[in-house]
A and B are shown apart, each in its own frame.
Chain A
Amino acid sequence: MAFLTKLREFSAWHTVAPPLVFFAMLLVVGVFNSNYLGPLGISIATASAAPILLVALGQSMVLNIGSIDLSNAAISLVGAILLAMTIPAFGVGAMIAVLALLTVIGAINGLILAYTHVPSFALTLGTLGILQTTALVVSGSETIYLSENRELVTTLYSAKLFYIPLTFWMGVVVAVAYWVLLRLTRVGQNMTAVGKNESGAILSAIPTKWVKVIAFAISGFTGGLAGIAIVAQAGSASASGLGSALLLPGIAAALVGGTSISGGLTNPLNVVFGALTVAFVPIAIQAIGFNAAAQSLVYGIFIIAVVTLTTTRTRGLVIK
């Protein structure tokens, strides 16, 4: 315990650790398979990291206000399916419409949270169930392939800049945008204030309800971008295909990226490293010779370990 406390007091943890953890992971993988340290490795890792990064960025914004969004990965999956269905007919217009719809879905989560004070994990567990069904029903439990306008999205994946696909760059741009939002705007400052101390924020006349709605709307919007990344990568979408298991990697990436589960602390730029680390997990597991599907074991341990290491514990505080 004393050791844990010391480690947490080392305040640089949140700023320095995410890149360090990533490079350590890179090194381990490199030892087993040096190919991963070259351009090919960079392409593969960043490509698989892109959807995780986008989901994690949305999650970070919600974690930053002290809540959690268990539905955001399902939002991106619904988004991917809707995109695969509508892009052939409507092209870019479909993308805009789907993003707008998903933003509204996120905002609804936020509205319910703000006006009913339901614990966010219970609320979003409910919406998660609804969205899972939506994904199955809308897709008819089938894989939907992009017939027309395919290259409109798939270029985002195939076109590369410095060996890195555009989908990952999209994540980086979003990360920078969210960094600016949090650090340099009043609404961003208010979000962090709500996460650090909601009572203090309420009594400082911060519009806490709107802050929550906006944070969840952002989570929905970013989930939509993750949906685009999924469709770009797979050229198709299905309820059980690529992107159907993004919830845990997303939360893990946010936490490994230095976001605090108790709120008020996140750095979107570090979440980029968190996402890369998490994307390397299946690669590393395979390199050691296990079934890559066992990655969920590692994600689970990641989440518990990071939260255990970074939670601040006040004496006498009741933890539920």
Chain B
Amino acid sequence: MTQAYPPVLKLTRISRSFGKVKAVNNVSLQIDRGEVIGLTGENGAGKSTLLKILAGIERPDEGTMEINGKVANFRSPNDAFKAGVGVVHQEQSLFTNLSVAENIEQQNQSRMGLERFGFQNWKRINADAAAVLKKIGVNLDPKARVGDLSFVDRQMVEIARAVCVEPGGDGTPLIILDEPTAVLEQAEVEVLEREILKLKKFASVIFVSHRLDEVLRICDRVLVMRHGVLTSDRSTEGVTKDELFKAMVDDAPTVSTHARSSRPIELKPAIEVQGLTMKGKFRDISFAAYPGRITALVGTNGSGRGRIMRALFGAEEFDGGTIEVAGKPVHNWSIRKAVAAGLAYVPAERKVEGMIGGYSGTRNIALVHPGEAARGQILRPGKMAETAQSWFDRLDVNPNNIKQPLDQFSGGNQQKVVLAKWLNSSDLKVLMLDHPLRGLDVGVSQAVNAEIRKACDHGTAVILIPDTIEEALEMADEIIVLRDGQLSARHDLSVASDLAIKEIVAEMV
């Protein structure tokens, strides 16, 4: 039967690079009518770039894409929509101030009858949206305001909108769902799963998810990506989770490269959290970080680890649990208090949050802990330059110009200055780093890691959110695994020396 129709999607040798990184590398695949395809892989495996290419947000450097038998060359998301590709993004992209019907019909400009003499024909718009909602079997009032709906209902509106794509002729719509379950509760996930099965009747679906259980349950086929390459394309029948894990992570079975020092484990933690909870974000998180040790928080993007770190730094509210710094519980925790207590935080969004881009290295370093460079309120320009110069030399910042605005430096050199800003404290108790190596090349990464270890050797407790599990295994003394906002496992690496990456991935998803 399928022979009668061309494939809904056919990718031939698609590649897309960002700088030196091949985010999508030579990917070929085919999706037929009515198929539900699971797409999975670690963070940074290239899934999102592939989706962006399908959605018309990014254009491939090489390769061809055919939709319903026609070659597709998308210049904008709107082109993709018109060709029959409907996307439900991870971040909801609805107009919360408009009605359900308006959102569904938003891009439906060519459909006849929605406008009468150039004016909105509300009757037709509402009727049309009602028909779409009925088609996908969702019971929502087309006139309801999207902002008043629950999250999962809004997700349904997104799906209804995606379903409105116009593949033309007897083409089949391709619906892409990008991690739609990441923030849903269990009952809501079931609603969504039923929904996807309904879509099968008239559309093909790509379902992106970290959760292998779900993928295996709903999908006909599962694709796995790693480092931009499609590493597995299997029918869900007969495939095991173990096989999929193998496709997701590198072949190296066990990593234990970094000779963990024989640092004595101090009995008193530098910072300790008990039952830390933020409704809907993370719950009941308890762990401690000790002086001279590196603790890595590992998990997927939706695991809540970034928020937990921000809560420790006073940058995020939490509704339950306690934080103790140097044995004393904190009250009305804030960034100012955290820094005064000797905490430091290197955010993942370096340019927006980590540094003052328009300011020079000198100014950035003197911002938080000026030390010698300030006497009370008065800054001492000579000392400021001296301090900055010594950090630039020590960290080998290139170009070695302390007066140049920081936004003119490369990412790696910016990161060195951000580190210097915090390390310039004479009394650093806890150093927290969120994706410190993001976008850095190998050489700079090593320099940054060396500096983190050095701080650690001087008795600072380090909490690290690594880019990869390899990075965690290389750097950390303890790994804490998080899943969906909860602590799912912890590994003391000084005891368990033969920990496999596969094992950790299984605890994450």
Contact = CB atoms under 8 A, between A and B. Distances in A.
Interface of A: 183-187, 189-190, 192-193, 196-197, 199-207, 264-265
B368 A189 contact: no
Contacts of B357: 196-197, 200
Given A186-B370, A186-B377, A203-B347, 4 more contacts: A192-B359, A193-B359, A199-B352, A205-B339
Nearest to A197: B356
A185 B378 CA distance: 5
Contacts of A206: 367
Contacts of B352: 197, 199-200
Nearest to A185: B377
The contact size tier of chain B is 20 to 34
Contact of A202 (B335, B359, B421): B335
Contacts of A196: 356-359
Contact of B377 (A187, A193, A203): A187
Contacts of A207: 336
A189 B367 contact: yes
A122 B492 CA distance: 55
A200 B367 CA distance: 11
30 contacts: A183-B379, A184-B379, A184-B381, A185-B377, A186-B370, A186-B379, A189-B363, A189-B366, A190-B367, A193-B356, A193-B363, A196-B357, A196-B358, A196-B359, A197-B352, A197-B358, A199-B353, A200-B353, A200-B355, A202-B335, A203-B313, A203-B335, A203-B345, A203-B354, A204-B367, A205-B336, A205-B338, A205-B340, A207-B336, A265-B358
Of A183, A186, A199, A265, the most chain B CB neighbours within 10 A belong to A186
B95 to A, nearest CB: 14
Contacts of B338: 205
A14 to B, nearest CB: 12
Contacts of A193: 356, 359, 363, 367
A15 B370 CA distance: 27
Nearest to B422: A204
Contacts of A204: 356, 367-368, 421
Nearest to A201: B356
A193 B367 CA distance: 8
Interface in B318-373: 335-336, 338-340, 345, 347, 352-359, 363, 366-368, 370
Query: Which 5 interchain pairs have the tightest Cβ spacing?
Result: A205-B339, A196-B358, A193-B356, A197-B356, A185-B377
A207 B335 CA distance: 9
B493 interface: no
Contacts of B378: 184-186
A30 B57 CA distance: 57
A313 to B, nearest CB: 15
Most buried by A among B356, B366, B367: B356
A292 B208 CA distance: 67
A183 B381 CA distance: 9
B315 interface: yes
B315 A203 contact: yes
B450 interface: no
B447 interface: no
Contacts of B358: 196-197, 264-265
A210 B110 CA distance: 54
B144 interface: no
A201 B354 CA distance: 9
B489 interface: no
A183 B377 CA distance: 12
A199 B347 CA distance: 11
B131 interface: no
B159 to A, nearest CB: 26
Contacts of A265: 358
Interface string B149-177: 00000000000000000000000000000
A264 B407 CA distance: 14
Nearest to B380: A184
B21 interface: no
Q: Which of A192, A196, A202 has the most CB of B within 10 A?
A: A196
A185 B367 CA distance: 11
A285 to B, nearest CB: 36
Contacts of B347: 203
A212 to B, nearest CB: 15
A241 to B, nearest CB: 39
A200 B356 contact: yes
B239 interface: no
Nearest to B345: A203
B374 interface: yes
Interface in B235-254: none
A294 B351 CA distance: 44
A201 B378 CA distance: 19
Contacts of A190: 367
Contacts of A187: 377
A190 B368 CA distance: 10
A184 B353 CA distance: 24
A196 B353 CA distance: 11
A190 B313 CA distance: 20
Contacts of A205: 335-336, 338-340, 368
Contacts of B366: 189
A122 to B, nearest CB: 20
Nearest to A188: B379
B152 to A, nearest CB: 28
B14 to A, nearest CB: 24
A44 to B, nearest CB: 38
A4 B345 CA distance: 38
A83 to B, nearest CB: 30
A203 B336 CA distance: 9
Contacts of B421: 204
A255 B35 CA distance: 60
Contacts of A192: 359
Contacts of A200: 352-357
A200 B374 CA distance: 21
B389 to A, nearest CB: 18
A199 B374 CA distance: 23
Contacts of B353: 199-200, 203
A192 B362 CA distance: 14
Contacts of B336: 205, 207
A318 to B, nearest CB: 14
Contacts of B345: 203
Interface string B215-248: 0000000000000000000000000000000000
A224 B105 CA distance: 57
Contacts of A186: 370, 374, 377-379
A109 to B, nearest CB: 23
A4 to B, nearest CB: 19
Nearest to B379: A184
